[in-house]
Amino acid sequence: MKGNLEAWYMEESEEDQRLPHHYHPPQYISLDKLAELGVLYWHLNPHCYENDEELQKIRESRGYNYMDLLDLCPGKVENYEEKLRNFFREHIHADEEIRYCLQGSGYFDVRDKDDRWIRIWIKAGDMIVLPAGIYHRFTLDTGNYVKLMRLFVGEPVWTPFNRPQEDHPSRKEYVKNLFNKAGTAVEAH
Ligand SMILES: CSCCC(=O)C(=O)O
Ligand SMILES: [Fe+2]
């Protein structure tokens, strides 16, 4: 299913994290550019997530056997404010972070090769995978609500490792792959 994920370079400022933080004019990023960073994307039909063959195929091909749902609104999660604060602290994980947006919307920010923030706006139907070792963070947008499916290979481990983590094995592996990919054309000669 075709989607239209929007992502852009984010202007850093002390303003409300839930605002878009565009440059003027905006600097949009293509899906190819996100793919270079190892970020994967699909657009699915969020209304049939309970019985969706497309979702099932992705889960089978990538081994995502675990799933749960996270409803980010004040009454439904414990320590709502603290959770949101932690999500917005720059961190990595030892494994992929796989999120499928079923309702609402929010921003995943990821660092590019030059350590600039890219803001990825996920809405209902957007499924993204952040690779292990990529620096990222998450915030709600001004809509203030998101319902996410979380997927994982095996028993889930959500542990965040806050920046700096240059010696963490998943970070080292990520950086190695990131710069190897860019260098392959040269090495081929
Ligand atoms: C609300 S899911 C995204 C937040 C995050 O980066 C995490 O859970 O590790
Ligand atoms: Fe994370």
Q: Give ipTM to 2 decimals.
A: 0.98
144-155 core/surface letters (b: 16 or more CB in 10 A; e: else): eebbbbbbbeee
pLDDT tens digits, 11-41: 999 999 999 999 999 999 999 999 999 999 9
pLDDT of residue 189: 44
Residue 20's CB: how many other CB atoms inside 10 A? 14
Q: What is the pTM of this model?
A: 0.94
In this prediction, residues 86-95 reach a mean pLDDT of 98
| pLDDT for position 11 | 97
Q: What is the pLDDT of residues 42-59, one digit of tens each?
A: 999 999 999 999 999 999
Q: Which of 160, 114, 101 is CA-nearest to residue 133?
A: 160
Q: Is the CB of 97 under 6 A from ligand 1?
A: yes
pLDDT score recorded for residue 182: 59
Within 10 A of 46 (CB to CB), how many other CB atoms are there? 19
CB-ligand 1 contact for 152 (6 Å cutoff): no
Which tokens belong to 1? 């299913």
The minimum-distance atom of ligand 1 relative to the CA of 130 is: 6
Is 189 among the annotated ligand-binding positions? no
For the chain, which residues make up each domain, given as ranges?
A: 6-184
- pLDDT tens digit sequence for 123-181: 999 999 999 999 999 999 999 999 999 999 999 999 999 999 999 999 999 999 999 87
Please give the distance, rounded to the nearest whole angstrom, from the Cα atom of residue 114 to the centre of ligand 2: 20
pLDDT in tens, 101-132: 999 999 999 999 999 999 999 999 999 999 99
Ligand 1 site, residue 160, Cβ cutoff 6 A? yes
Say yes or no: domain 6-184 is CATH 3.40.50.300.
Answer: no
Q: Is residue 67 scored above 80 in pLDDT? A: yes
pLDDT for residue 188: 46
